[in-house]
């Protein structure tokens, strides 16, 4: 069988248990999962590109996920897909609210590179309402993060907000 590599791109600001739920599902189906952390500075992320990459790597190590690799990219996604030789893009669908944007992106990527497919995964129900923004909001007000992020991210969020004097 051909070696099936899939790419999971995103901002991962920071990586959450919802992202990790998708990664764990993907690693059972595909030979290799590439978690691709986009620079996306225009989105004014809380964590720098380097921090987001580091946290994604630590989270994957924490869970001992063997066929998952973290890469960084700052280009058009399809150019990075070509470079990495992946056959499909993985994205997550939580609620209807994700649909418009994801649909638009999938069709645009197909126009740019027709041979690439976009595959959508749905997370476990407990992660349907989980987003990186929500996690940052909880962290900002000192809420309990254990159910939402891996330990390394919990520590990084606490450090980030206490450094900000909040
Ligand atoms: P982007 O800025 O590219 O949307 P994100 O890191 O916010 O990057 O999300 C990357 C992908 O992961 C998106 O397809 C998003 O829908 C999906 N995703 C985010 N959180 C969850 C979650 N809790 N469950 C399933 N998919 C998720």
Which atom in ligand 1 lies closest to the alpha carbon of residue 38?
Answer: 3
Give the separation between CA 105 and CA 33, rounded to whole angstroms.
20
Collapse the DSSP code of 104 into the 3-class scheme (helix H, G, I; strand E, B; otherwise coil) and give the result.
helix
Q: For residue 48, what is the domain's CATH number? A: 3.40.50.620
| Assigned domain for 18 exists | yes
Tokens representing 101 are 């944007």
Q: Is 98 exposed, middle or buried (0-12, 13-18, 19+ CB in 10 A)?
A: middle
Domain extent at residue 48: 5-126
| Assigned domain for 84 exists | yes
Q: Is the CB of 118 under 6 A from ligand 1?
A: no
Give the separation between CA 87 and CA 81, rounded to whole angstroms.
8
Q: Is the CB of 69 under 6 A from ligand 1?
A: no
Tokens representing 37 are 């952390």
Cβ pair 156, 14 in contact under 8 A? yes
What separation in angstroms does the CA of 54 have from each of 8, 76, 98, 102? Answer: 16, 22, 26, 26
| Assigned domain for 19 exists | yes
**H helix or E strand, kind and range, residue 154:** helix 151-163
Per-residue pLDDT of the chain (166 residues; tens, 9 = 90+): 556 999 999 999 999 999 999 999 999 999 999 999 999 999 999 999 999 999 999 999 999 998 999 999 999 999 999 999 999 999 999 988 889 999 999 999 999 999 999 999 999 999 999 999 999 999 999 999 999 999 999 999 999 998 554 4
| Assigned domain for 68 exists | yes
| Assigned domain for 134 exists | no
| Assigned domain for 157 exists | no
Q: What pLDDT is stored for residue 2 in this prediction?
A: 56
Residue with CA at minimum distance from ligand 1 atom 27? 92
Cβ pair 107, 6 in contact under 8 A? no
- The residue to mutate among 33, 56, 91, 109, having the most atoms of ligand 1 within 8 angstroms of its beta carbon, is 91
Mention every residue, 6+ apart, whose C-beta is less than 8 A from residue 51. 14, 156
Which atom in ligand 1 lies closest to the alpha carbon of residue 13?
Answer: 6
Instruction: Give how many domains the chain has, as a whole number.
Output: 1
Q: pTM for the complete prediction?
A: 0.95
């Amino acid at each position: 069988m051909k070696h099936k590599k899939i790419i999971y791109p995103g901002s991962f600001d920071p990586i959450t248990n919802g992202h990790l739920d998708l990664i764990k599902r993907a690693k059972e189906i595909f030979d290799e999962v590439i978690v691709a952390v986009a620079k996306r500075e225009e989105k004014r992320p809380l964590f720098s590109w380097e921090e987001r990459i580091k946290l994604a790597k630590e989270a994957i190590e924490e869970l001992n996920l063997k066929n998952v690799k973290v890469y960084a990219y700052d280009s058009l996604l399809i150019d990075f897909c070509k470079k990495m030789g992946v056959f499909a893009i993985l994205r997550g669908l939580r609620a209807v609210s994700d649909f418009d944007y994801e649909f638009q992106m999938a069709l645009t990527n197909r126009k740019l590179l027709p041979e690439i497919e976009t595959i959508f995964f749905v997370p476990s129900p407990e992660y349907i309402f989980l987003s990186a923004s929500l996690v940052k909001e909880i962290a900002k007000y000192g809420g309990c993060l254990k159910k939402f992020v891996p330990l390394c991210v919990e520590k990084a969020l606490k450090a980030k907000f206490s450094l900000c004097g909040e």
